[in-house]
Amino acid sequence: MRLALFEPDIPQNTGALLRLGACLGVPVDIIEPCGFLIDDRRLRRAGMDYLDQVEMTRHSSWDAYRAALDGRLVLLTTAGELHYTDFAYRATDSLLVGRESAGAPAALHEAAAARVRIPLRAGLRSLNVALAAAMVLGEALRQTKRFPAPQ
């Protein structure tokens, strides 16, 4: 299981997702360009002292990421056909989130093996990308029995 961030533009969200990856033992792929410097102090602040505990891979572009992808690509999107809890995850899936400011472009939708969404109340558009990723990743880890062992 992996978590992938497509061209993130808010360092605090990226830091929170890197911290999530560190705590749950899930590698994180960052697909550049980012809307901030990876060594941005806001990223370090959000990730706290967890950043040295996460397996992070930076990809210079969408094409570079696609070339390195191993497993199914599962896109988290408000345009998804399936509720995230109705999808059968695999341990080799990569969960992909789009940009905070622009979502997921058509190329991501076309490349995805599945598009999942979190059902929301009528009239509400979306959740914060870090919250959405945490929810879906939690379900994927639950289904695949890949949560870290209790201490």
| 76 vs 84: CA distance, rounded Å | 8
First to last CA, the chain: 21
Strand order from edge to edge, sheet including 2-6: 56-59, 28-31, 2-6, 94-97, 73-76, 114-117, 82-83
Q: What is the mean pLDDT of residues 11-38?
A: 92
Q: Is the pLDDT of residue 38 over 90?
A: no
99's tokens: 């940009």
Alpha-carbon distances of 110 from 31, 67, 101, rounded to whole Å: 17, 15, 20
- Confidence band (pLDDT; 50, 70, 90) for 150? confident
- Confidence band (pLDDT; 50, 70, 90) for 17? very high
- The bridge status of strand 114-117 relative to strand 82-83 is parallel
Domains of the chain with CATH codes: 2-144 (3.40.1280.10)
| Helix/strand/coil (H/E/C) assignment for every residue in 124-146 | CCCCCHHHHHHHHHHHHHHHHCC
**Structure pTM?**
0.93
Kindly state the percentage of the chain with pLDDT values over 70. Answer: 93
For the segment 81-120, what is each residue's pLDDT rounded down to a tens digit?
999 999 999 999 999 999 999 999 999 999 999 999 999 9
3-state DSSP call for residue 33? coil
